[in-house]
Amino acid sequence: MTTVHRRGSARTRPAKPPLSREAVVRAALDLVDDAGVDAVSMRKVATLLDTAAASLYVYVEDRKDLLEAAYDLALADLRVGGGEPTDWRAELEALVTEQVRVLAEHGDVARVALAEVQVGPNALAVTERVLALLRVSGVPARSRLAAADLLDQYVASAAVERAGWLRRVRGATAVDAADASIQAARDRIERAYQALPAADFPELTAVRAGLGAVDPDDRDRWKLAAVIDGIVGGSSSGAD
């Protein structure tokens, strides 16, 4: 006896989840997580949602709107404080550091913020808190937006760098392989520095001995501290 397998009818097949802006943006962020910002297109997102690309334009204006919304969705995992700050510097350092970590967990989505200020609801909530912390620090009102923008640019560039590091580590199949991948990246820089003629590159030659001794976390803390010191110091000296 032959069993005939019939394709399910429209009544028996599970219904596709309804489209919404939230579903479209989530699919875009998932695509960024898997393949990066450059892989995102309206067609690929539509394929993930089992629909036509034209259907997405009901919910997003274009690819730019889609990527900016995906960036803002990535920030939904960030906890932003409230109320009057008690230790503005500690909170600002923690907020910036956590923002870098959260964005880097979503591939290179932070590239979206490198070229243009982001104004999604989650991004605005971060900016609001940063402005409050800068106010308590003594940065004058005329300088706060520029200072917040500088910190935002630091976050974006640091998150893109960290995302690249995470991609290399996750691409390795074992702890030893991950360590080897990190060491290979350091060796590449060291080889380039060692090949430089000292007479032509005296400054790089002078610092190359300390390349392997720098802890990445210490380096990141130093860079952030330098940015914050510059903001506060520049404001207190009257510079804008």
Note the pLDDT of residue 240.
45
CA dihedral 206, 209, 211, 215 (to 10 degrees): -110
Q: How far apart are CA 117 and CA 72, in angstroms?
A: 12
**83-236 matches 21-75 in CATH topology:** no
Note the pLDDT of residue 171.
66
The CATH number for 21-75, chosen from 3.40.50.2000, 1.10.10.60, 1.20.1260.120, 3.30.565.10, is 1.10.10.60
Of 52, 51, 102, 53, which Cα lies nearest the Cα of 80? 102
Task: State in words which class domain 83-236 has.
Answer: mainly alpha
Residue indicated by tokens 């923690």: 94
What is the radius of gyration, based on Cα positions, of the chain?
23
pTM over 0.85: no
Note the pLDDT of residue 207.
83
Residues 6+ apart with CB under 8 A from 8: none
Ranges of each domain in the chain: 21-75, 83-236
Q: Note down pLDDT in tens along the chain; length 240 residues.
A: 444 444 444 455 555 668 999 999 999 999 999 999 999 999 999 999 999 999 999 999 999 999 999 999 999 999 999 999 999 999 999 999 999 999 999 999 999 999 899 999 999 999 999 999 999 999 999 999 999 999 999 999 999 999 988 887 676 555 565 566 566 767 777 888 888 898 998 988 888 777 666 677 888 999 999 999 999 998 765 544
Q: Kindly report the CA angle at 31 between 58 and 109, in degrees rounded to 5?
A: 95
- Residue 222 backbone zone (phi > 0: left; psi -120 to 50: alpha; other: beta): alpha
